[in-house]
């Protein structure tokens, strides 16, 4: 049985879809069978980031409604063996999801893949609750600013209260990714904000991704930046994938002057 890994944030626009595409690709590059599910019902864009928008025929709601079977809707990413994609529906009906149908879909996906990665919608609307309900593991994305951190904290609270794991007395394994960190901030000593983020959220840090214009250009070409061996953001995502698989990997040194790594390491002493 595979693992359901939900990518969530609270605040919108902080990098959930970017993370989903890159972590899914990174895990497939490590030899895992991975499906990236766009659960942002009504607003698809993971397809663009993966460069698979022209191959969509059926979507996640079609599968749940029985309009097609799962294998008809799954799109295989020819660039990355082992990586599959299940597109979001563009329906405007936010109440289309039904708990038992969602459960059946994810049970089926878990039986076929090592990792089922769910890109969740912004905010805490209904699609969000479904995306966290069945999660085994969550990647919580925040940018290093107060409003994103506050919203991430709310989402962590909801996962601890409302997920199926919580209802059964357990807990979703939660990891933090701080996204869009600017090396200039690091060098000015503003990295305290990462320490603050960790202190407020009190979950384990699994990655720090730099603000990198290559993320934007790679989205435009439909090639997730994790394919780019020369980019720092790509390297950050490759390391996150390895950490998800339990490898101990150093954090990327984002400072142009050095020293960031030492600070991050210091946080775990």
**Minimum separation from the CB atom of position 133 to ligand ATP (A):** 19
- Strands lying side by side in the sheet with 204-210: 75-76, 83-86, 34-38, 115-119, 3-8, 137-142, 173-181, 204-210
Q: What share of the chain is helix, strand, coil (3-state, %, to 5)?
A: 45, 15, 40
Q: Which is nearer to Mg ion, 6 or 253 (CB)?
A: 6
Which range of residues in 13-21, 169-177, 220-228, 237-245 is near Mg ion by CB under 5 A? 13-21
Judge contact between 156 and 225, C-beta under 8 A: no
Tell me phi and psi for residue 209, to 5 degrees: -110, 130
Q: Which is nearer to ligand ATP, 9 or 25 (CB)?
A: 9
Q: How many helices (H) and strands (E) does the chain have?
A: 13, 8
- Which residues within the stretch 211-230 sit at the binding site for ligand ATP (CB under 6 A)? 211-212, 215-216, 219
Which residue among 209, 226, 241, 264 contacts ligand ATP (CB under 6 A)?
A: 209
- Which residues within the stretch 104-143 sit at the binding site for ligand ATP (CB under 6 A)? 122
Binding residues for ligand ATP, total number by CB under 6 A: 19
Judge contact between 242 and 222, C-beta under 8 A: no
Binding mask 41-80 for ligand ATP (x = CB under 6 A): ----------------------------------------
157 binds ligand ATP (CB under 6 A): no
Instruction: Return the structure tokens found at 218.
Output: 């790679």
């Amino acid at each position: 049985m595979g693992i359901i890994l939900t990518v969530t944030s609270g605040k919108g626009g902080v990098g959930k879809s970017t993370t989903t595409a890159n972590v899914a690709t990174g895990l497939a590059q490590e030899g895992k069978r991975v499906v990236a599910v766009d659960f942002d019902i009504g607003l698809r864009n993971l397809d663009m980031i993966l460069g698979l928008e022209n191959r969509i025929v059926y979507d996640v709601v079609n599968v749940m409604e029985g309009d097609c079977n799962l294998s008809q809707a799954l799109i295989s990413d020819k660039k990355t063996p082992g990586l599959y994609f299940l597109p979001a529906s563009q329906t405007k009906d936010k109440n289309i999801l039904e708990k038992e149908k969602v459960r059946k879909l994810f049970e089926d996906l878990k039986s076929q893949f090592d990792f089922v990665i769910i890109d969740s919608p912004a905010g805490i609307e209904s699609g969000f609750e479904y995306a966290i309900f069945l999660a085994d593991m969550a990647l919580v994305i925040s940018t290093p600013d107060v409003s994103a951190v506050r919203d991430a904290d709310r989402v962590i609270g909801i996962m601890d209260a409302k997920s199926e794991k919580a209802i059964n007395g357990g807990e979703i394994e939660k990891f933090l990714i701080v996204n869009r960190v600017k090396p200039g901030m690091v060098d000015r000593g503003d990295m305290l904000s990462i320490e603050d983020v960790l202190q407020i959220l009190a979950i384990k840090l699994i990655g720090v991704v730099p603000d990198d214009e290559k993320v934007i250009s790679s989205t435009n070409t439909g090639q997730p930046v994790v394919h780019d061996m020369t980019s720092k953001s790509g390297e950050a995502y490759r390391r996150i994938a390895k950490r998800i698989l339990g490898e101990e990997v150093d954090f990327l040194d984002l400072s142009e002057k050095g020293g960031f790594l030492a600070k991050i390491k210091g946080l775990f002493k």
